[in-house]
Structure 1
Amino acid sequence: MGETIPIAVPRKGRPLESVLDRLARRLGQPDLADEISSTLRHEKALTKGSLEPDEPNVYHRLADYSSVDDPTAPEYTLLRDDRAGKPRRIVFDSVTLPLEDVDAIDSDGEIQLIGREEPFRALRTHEFALGFDSADLILEEVVQLRPEPLDRIEAINERIDPADTDVRVITGLGDTVYHTLMATPEVAPPSEHLDRDFLETYEGPLCIEPRYERLVQAVLGTRTLDGVNFQYPVAHREEEAAIADAGLGVYLTVTGSTAREHGLLLGEQLFPSETILLENSSETTDSVDAVRSLLNGGDLETELAVE
């Protein structure tokens, strides 16, 4: 192959760590993945104020992390965080990974992970052929809203209008958390399941994050939402607390412990949120196909099974 294949990835958070873990397994570079993840977790803790920095000057820390002498070392950059005061936060920028020693691929080229705030949109505008992003963003942006619910992550591609984008979902990475229906005991049905069927007859408020409005419409189906009005948490209010005030809501859960602390009952897991591999089909080449095969594979334990 002998060329550099750029791949758009998130700049921080669980999706980026999932991508790094995947590449660590496929390329045999766990130390590099650990280095990047550890650096970003440390910087997140500094931004949140849960740690005191040894070096308070963020520009000095950035210079320490990003080596200009080693072309294979990871690089970082600064972004404004949305926390109080809008502090500058160090996030991932890029790293180049050679492929010549990878048994799973016959190549003397390399891949370059490039951080983007919204990798999916970078693929939509044809900047990249391959990228990773959260499945949520696809639902928030391009899936068609229909009366019936979208209850399988595999069905995302079926709801993408080919005239809207050439980007398609290839596979998931298995870092699954769920958009879960939850309610207070007073609102939850006493002898029925807290699920989509309950929502068919429910009328009243449903508390959600504003950015998930289109996602919830797609996941529940527009027919189910007849008589339901969306309610949103006020600024800086914990989502589970806002759902407890409303009586019913949808939010991402891992263990559900925080929801239970607010007296909420957990209902149906409406949709899995997972980091996904994306491809812009109009930008593919033989080299891109080879890298895609490296990133995909039957060893993935994912909620998504597209191919």
Structure 2
Amino acid sequence: MGETIPVAVPRKGRPLETVLERFARRLDVADLADEITSTLRHEKALTKGTLEREGTSVYHRLEDYSTVSDPTKPEYTLIRDDRTGKPRRIVFDSVTIPLTEVEGVSDGTEVLLVGREEPFRALRTHEFALGFDSADLVLEEVVELRPEPLDRIGDVNARIDPADTDVQVVTGLGDTVYHTLMGTPETVPSATSIDRDFLEAYQGELCIEPRYERLVQAVLGTKTLDGVDFSYPRDDREEEAAIAETGLGVYLTMTGSTARDHGLLLGERLFPSETVLLENESEITESVATVRTVLNGTDLETALAVGR
């Protein structure tokens, strides 16, 4: 009988979809990935109110979706969503994926995907050897703050103090968006590049999401932020609107269209944000290393490729 290797994954959203796409490509489980993704998108639409609520209760839908008797079928669970009224929302809980068709894997070896609100923290507490989470959380929690900026993703692991955690980044999955510096024409002089050099000479407010404060400090370096004061969007303001009001800020962009709609100029892409494969080095066994190899690979087109 082979081993079952648990892997922590996000419970919902783009990071979970990216992980499922990775498993679909590497392990030929496209139907399973599509089933989970479509179910969670449907439930998100119900929670947001963009889809008319069905006659069945959330508890009946949860029972219909989950197959407790067969671990190779997905199970789901309920959480309180942070939207108005705190509705209950169906999210991913677990599923088992056999690896019998993968070359070099012992017969009977399985991967158990386990949903976690914060997979990175579950790895830090040694609950899992492998997991997937946003690269942002690594910067927000464990990367050392230094005067010089963090320019390359390859430097992330070097900035993680091994006395603080055994978790390291293995690779990214390619679902890249960027933390981007942006400002208004009134704040940025004509023909001036909105980049780290501009920010180093800048004195004033920089609008960011509160949860990104440590990340921005790590990416820009504490020296660059001398004379800069962080401000934050009010609860009722969109991030881009708050940055336009402040004059300068950092936020995630993919196309930048929303920022431009608010009259903002896009500047330097400061750092890529991706879903990443993580490992707790102290928990790696031969079987875990084999699973890690299956999930890693040269086919990944990622800004976060750190290599092994």
TM range (shorter): over 0.9
Shift of 1:57: 1.0
Structure 1 residues 1-307: aligned runs within 5 Å: 2-103=2-103, 105-307=105-307
SS at match of 2:245: helix
CA distance in 1, matches of 2:262, 2:55: 38
Unaligned ranges ≥5, structure 2: none
SS of the equivalent of 2:156 reads helix
Answer yes or no: is the 8 Å Cα contact 1:55–1:61 preserved in 2: no
SS of the aligned residue for 1:41 comes to helix
Specify the SS of the correspondent of 1:86.
Answer: coil
SS of residue paired to 2:282: helix
In 2, the alpha carbon distance for the partners of 1:185 and 1:114 equals 47
Which amino acid is 1:194 matched to? I
In structure 2, distance between residues paired with 1:50 and 1:188 = 38
- Helix, strand or coil: the match of 2:189? coil
What TM-score, normalized by structure 1, do the two folds share? 0.98
Give how far 1:104 is off: 6.0
Once the 2 structures are TM-superposed, how far is the Cα of residue 189 of structure 1 from its aligned partner?
Answer: 2.9
In 2: Cα distance, 1:103 partner to 1:42 partner: 35
Q: For residue 153 of structure 1, report the CA deviation from its aligned partner.
A: 1.4
* 1:106 to partner: Cα distance: 4.3
Question: In 2, Cα distance between the equivalents of 1:59 and 1:302?
Answer: 39
Contact 2:7 2:113 in 1 (8 A): yes
Aligned-pair distance for 1:64? 0.7
Shift in alpha-carbon separation, 1:104–1:265, aligned structure 2, 3 A: farther
Aligned residues: 307
1:222 Cα offset (Å):
0.3
- The answer to whether the 8 Å contact 1:186/1:247 transfers is yes
Distance 1:239 1:225 in 2: 20
Structure 2 CA distance for aligned equivalents of residues 43 and 165 of structure 1: 35
One-letter code of the match for 2:67?
A: S
SS at match of 1:136: helix
For 1:158 and 1:287, the matched residues in 2 are separated by 26
Partners of 1:48 and 1:296 lie apart in 2 by: 34
Q: Secondary structure of the residue that 1:40 maps to in structure 2?
A: helix
Identity %: 76
Q: CA RMSD in A?
A: 1.1
Output the CA distance in 1 between the equivalents of 2:39 and 2:139: 31
| Mapped partners of 2:157, 2:189: distance in 1 | 34
Mind listing any 5+ residue stretches in structure 1 that lack a counterpart?
none
Letter in 2 for 1:120: F
1:105–1:294 Cα contact (<8 Å) kept: no
Q: Which letter does structure 2 place at the counterpart of 1:138? A: V
Q: Distance in 2 between matches of 1:118 and 1:104?
A: 31
Q: Distance in 1 between the 2:56 and 2:200 partners?
A: 54
Q: Could you tell me whether the CA contact under 8 Å between 1:99 and 1:108 is conserved in 2?
A: yes
Separation of aligned partners in 1, 2:243 and 2:259: 9
Distance 1:55 1:279 in 2: 43
Q: Distance in 1 between matches of 2:11 and 2:246?
A: 34
Q: Higher mean Cα deviation, 134-143 or 97-106?
A: 97-106
Tell me the distance in 1 between the aligned counterparts of 2:189 and 2:215. Answer: 24
| Alpha-carbon distance between aligned partners in 2 of 1:209 and 1:104, rounded to the nearest angstrom | 45
Q: How far apart are 1:70 and its partner, in Å?
A: 2.4
Deviations 1:249-289 (A, max 9, x none): 00001111111110011100000000100000100100001
